[in-house]
Amino acid sequence: MNKYLSISPEVEEALRNHQPVVALESTIISHGMPYPQNVETALRVEQTIRDHGAVPATIAIIGGRLKAGCTPEEIEYLGKKGPAVTKASRRDLPVLIARGEDGATTVTTTMIIAAMAGIQVFATGGIGGVHHHAQQTFDISADLEELAQTPVMVICAGPKGILDLGLTLEYLETKGVPVIGYQTDELPAFYTRHSGFEVDYRLDTPQELAAAFRAKQALGLRGGMLVNNPIPEEYSMPADVINFAINMALREAEEKGVHGKQCTPFLLERVKDITGGDSLAANIQLVLNNARLAAMTAAAMCV
């Protein structure tokens, strides 16, 4: 085991006994929502995973330790500290560890630490991807590179709607990442079920997802698998409403010169404000929906 990795006793026991475990990111706690809603949501997501037969493993970096499984007290700590916690991608890990600092894990770092611990399924809200105008800015999320090399199934509600979805799909195709639609032929776009883009394959049960992932591993193919689970119909936002908010936020980001790792938090916060908080409510529901599917898929992998 990596000397910088700490696996919680509950997660370690589950992995040792071949029981289902689901990884969860911590950026959504520190950077995704205000306190105390962030902590309440994180604990609710963990409980949802337990209710569906799996063990949650919230992943973070605390005091320079890679944590696979956080205690409620550690989640509270991350929630209270909020944006003061470093939003940690792959490039940040060596320095945070060397300095003994804290880090909130993105999709990228959650995948890295989950793979170190032996966790195969990860539930999140949405993945990063290719940003608009990436032809000039080269602003492409490290999440896509991680999906191409780290063997973890990522269950999300699609790429974040603030992204260029067409270019994100092209990039994933180039990297050989299977883009799966769960009970849908269309790529969901985070806040809404519809994007106008097709997925590579549609699979309709957790058992099918587990079988596809096992086949990928048996073939010796590198990388993970992206499962796109649409937000439930009753919480899906109208495409015209969310697209209006996203376009307005994109214009503001360009005018203010926002770029790099500040871009996504800025855009999501502005979309929340423009929609009167509706996007945040949708965000919570889609994460819970992904947690349910991840728990069932993790259980199917253990059969």
Residues carrying an active site annotation: 25, 160
Rounded Cα distance, 39 and 79, in Å: 6
Report the run of H or E that residue 81 belongs to, with start and end. Answer: helix 72-81
Rounded Cα distance, 92 and 239, in Å: 35
* Neighbouring residues of 302: CB distance < 8 A, sequence distance ≥ 6: 18, 19, 20
Q: At what angle do helices 142-149 and 165-174 cross, to 10 degrees?
A: 30
Q: Dihedrals φ, ψ of 107, to 5°?
A: -55, -45
According to DSSP, the β-strands at 5-7 and 21-24 are unpaired
**Tokens for 13?**
């026991």
Rounded Cα distance, 230 and 127, in Å: 13
CA 218, 224, 225, 227 torsion-angle sign? positive
Inter-residue contact 158 to 190 (CB < 8 Å): yes
Q: Which is nearest to 70 in space by CA: 58, 88, 79, 56?
A: 58
Report the run of H or E that residue 153 belongs to, with start and end. Answer: strand 153-156
58-79 as b/e: b if 16+ CB within 10 A = bbbbbebebbbbbeeebbbbbb
